[in-house]
Structure 1
Amino acid sequence: MKRYLSSIAILGLLAAPASYALDDDFKQKIVVDAGRQEVSLKENRVTFYDDVEVTQGSIKMNADQLSVIGSEEAGSEVMIAQGQPATFYQMMENGKPIEAEAHEIRYELATRTLTLTKQAELKQEESLVRGEMIRYSIDLQEMVAQGGENSRVTTIFLPQQLEELEQYQQQGNQE
């Protein structure tokens, strides 16, 4: 029960009022900068190598390798970043960034979902969630974290943030 409550607390911190992603980010062009790229038209895949940098508005991804898998529908591409670690950064509307890192980051553009695997971390300010797998929906502000075979999920947050969460929850109950 205690683990469940701390997961609820950290989710509340990550989804605090006005902490939505900058909507303008998703209207910006995606720019990929890399040392090398390979294209497979047959597989509808472009793979970038060597210090890969991706930007889209305030979104920034860095990886050793990035595969972009296309689909019939524009805007439904999937990006799979791999690195030691690969990183993701996005500024939220409240001016507080979300930062993520893992050995693999899967970013599904259509659903705006990040799936972090292998030594995954998701951080906003001093709040931190660590696990073997973290799935985070940017739009829905929902997160699921799982430990691995020999590891558990770790959540770290400050007492001040717990007070803010409690106040936020009380305001929501009054409405």
Structure 2
Amino acid sequence: MTSKVMNKLVFLGLLAAATNALAAEQNEVIIDSGRQQAQLQSNIGIFEQNVVIIHGDRKIQADRLEVHRRAELGTNKQLLVATGSPAIFSEKQADGSLLEAKANEIRYDVAALTLVISGDAEISQAGQKINAQVITYDIEQQLISAERSGQQDSRVRTVLVPVDEDDENKKEKEPQPSQGNNP
């Protein structure tokens, strides 16, 4: 083989390896905590004391986390059940805004990319806030659905905060810091 063909094959191999590494990194779930236990027979990991979970652009903070790993849960085989007062989920959106969810319990199905928050549940983004007993968020479809509890006086509440156009215009017109070594 010629040198050019060999170089192209090596380049394609390196590109494929880098792509696989990036995909693995995006599927990787990192958990930090003060304490960890594992129930080997039931495949449940228990994390306690200032738990922080990172999955791509998503972050969960909780007092306690149970990680359920079973074949019937799908490809990634992980269901994360975070509890706290409150447990907090945050995700940086494609537009740069931050979506934040708070509740007594957050159930995050890693394979299905769904989030179910329950117990004084609240989800907010860009000045909009939804409060309900149970809120489901389909991360891939960016679909939020909220339900009231069985109590008669329970309701789903949405608060829309208007964006001040003057503030938006000021942000657009503000001088940007210069890049470089200008005096």
Distance 2:123 2:96 in 1: 17
Percent identity for Structure 1 against Structure 2: 31
Asked if structure 2 preserves the Cα contact closer than 8 Å seen for 1:84 and 1:102, the reply is yes
Select the structure of larger CA radius of gyration: 2
Residue 138 of structure 1: aligned partner: 139
Distance 1:40 1:151 in 2: 38
Asked if structure 2 preserves the Cα contact closer than 8 Å seen for 1:66 and 1:79, the reply is yes
Residue 125 of structure 1: aligned partner: 126
- How far did residue 88 of structure 1 move? 0.3
Q: Structure 1's 83 and 131: CA in aligned 2 closer, same or farther, altered over 3 A?
A: same
AA matched with 1:66: L
Is it true that 1:94 corresponds to 2:95 in the alignment? yes
- How far did residue 160 of structure 1 move? 4.8
- How far did residue 58 of structure 1 move? 2.1
TM-score (norm 2): 0.70
Residue 165 of structure 1: aligned partner: none
- Partner SS, residue 28 of structure 2: coil
Is it true that 1:158 corresponds to 2:161 in the alignment? yes
Residue 46 of structure 2: aligned partner: 47
Distance 2:154 2:34 in 1: 35
Distance 1:28 1:70 in 2: 14
Distance 1:78 1:144 in 2: 20
AA matched with 2:112: T
Distance 1:141 1:93 in 2: 11
Q: How does 1:6-155 map to 2 (within 5 A)?
A: 27-72=26-71, 73-148=74-149, 149=151, 150-155=153-158
Aligned residues: 138
Structure 1 residue runs of 4+, over 4 Å off?
Answer: none
TM-score (norm 1): 0.73
- Partner SS, residue 110 of structure 1: coil
- Partner SS, residue 114 of structure 1: strand
- How far did residue 114 of structure 1 move? 0.5
Asked if structure 2 preserves the Cα contact closer than 8 Å seen for 1:25 and 1:57, the reply is no
What RMSD over aligned residues (CA atoms) do the two structures have, in Å? Answer: 1.9
Per-residue Cα deviation, 1:9-64 (whole angstroms, up to 9, x for no partner): xxxxxxxxxxxxxxx89715211111111101111100101111111232111000
Distance 1:87 1:68 in 2: 16
Distance 2:161 2:64 in 1: 35
- Partner SS, residue 91 of structure 2: strand
Asked if structure 1 preserves the Cα contact closer than 8 Å seen for 2:132 and 2:156, the reply is yes
AA matched with 2:70: S
Asked if structure 1 preserves the Cα contact closer than 8 Å seen for 2:127 and 2:162, the reply is no
- How far did residue 109 of structure 1 move? 0.7
